[in-house]
Structures are given as structure tokens and as C-alpha cells.
Amino acid sequence: MLILQIEIVVCKLIVLKRLSIDRRARGVIFDLDGTIADTMPVHYVAYRNILKEYDIDFPVELFQALAGIPAIGVMERINETYGTSMDAEKVGMQKEMEYERLMHLMKPVDPVVELIREAHGRLPMAVGTGGYKRLAWKTRDILGLKDYFPILVASEDVERHKPFPDTFLKCAELMGVEPRYCQVFEDGRLGLEAARAAGMMAVDVTGFYKVTTGIPVDLQGL
């Protein structure tokens, strides 16, 4: 059996205070990766695994700075940063395939999922993500939220991605709610910029829990 050594960061979430929905909100929009699902360590490992094949060291600081950008866009930024000439579309899709192989490792962000369950049926809700739609639906289902989000706007649905407001404006349109009455829950700087550019109420969910990083572990036989 082929044994693959994969470095992954083990994270623990410590809840600092409860999230709540603003009483002015008539619709709620959630980012997905890093907001509903603690997928960021898994995404990072997928990027690292693929980029190692191209002799590119992908620092976590750059990964964090590019959070919210689709994989192809990330590869374009890496080409600009390192002066490389990778086929961004090809390598981006390789990364997504690697992520799909590992995505069973994701965990829910408990304080956000708790808020979603409490708000279900009270207000229209949507997911606005920079990820690909097929994987976003799969993430939703893995977390047991299939019945909570009939509306999902992904990278294929808009031409301009975060920090542009298009993703969240499309969510508002599909929910039938004016942007000013929408509240967005996000973890990424680009996503928060997008929410504010859309004229929406923006909440940085990282202020409500603390991520503690543990030791790397080896995953065998994946």
C-alpha cells in the first residue's frame, strides 16, 4: 500500500462569545470555508501538496492573504509573486482534486453552525463562497446542513469575486432581500471587504472564537 505523509495543522476552536443576528437583518449570508466549515487547514495542505510538485514553497501567510479567492485566481497570484508560468487553470483544478480527496477531514465551526440552526426557518439564508459549487454543496452535506441552504452562490455564478461585492449581491437577489438588510458572516479580509462594498452588515466571525494550532500529524494510506 502506498503511504503518503501529509502535513496537516490540527486546530481547536475555543468559543469566546456567542454570535447573534442583528435585529435589523432580514436575510443572512454566510461564507463557507473558515466560517461554517473549518476547511482552511485542509485547503492549505492541498495547496502545499500540489505546489511541491512545482518546487514552490507556499507560506501560510500568503495562503491567508489570498483567502476567498478561487483556486485558479490563487495560482495566478502565485505566478505573479514568484515569476512562475504555471498553467493556472490546470494547477488550480489539480489543487481542487487534492482538496476533494482530503475534505472528509473538515470540521464544523461550532458557534457558526449553532447560529445557523437557531436561525433556520426565521430568516432566509444563503451561502456566498469563492469555492467551486460542486465542492461547496459537498461541504454543506458533510456538515449535515443540506436542508438549511437552498441558496448557494459560488465562483461559477459571478464574474468578479471577493473583494468585489458581486457574490453577496447575488445572494441578496436570490433571497429577495435588499442588500442593506443583509447580514454577512465572514472570516476573511477579502470577504469582509466584499460585504461592506455591497452595503451589508458585516461580522468577522474570528472575533467570536479563537483557533489554537496544535502539532502536525501524519495521515497514512490516503
The three grid cell numbers given for residue 169, joined into one nine-digit string: 449581491
- Main-chain phi, psi angles of 36, to 5 degrees: -85, -40
Cα distance between residue 207 and residue 150, in whole Å:
27
Return the closest-CA partner of residue 57 out of 5, 7, 132: 7
Nearest-angstrom CA–CA distance, 1 and 220: 10
Question: Which residues are annotated as catalytic?
Answer: 31
CB 29 within 8 A of CB 126: yes
162 closest CA partner among 51, 38, 1, 35:
35
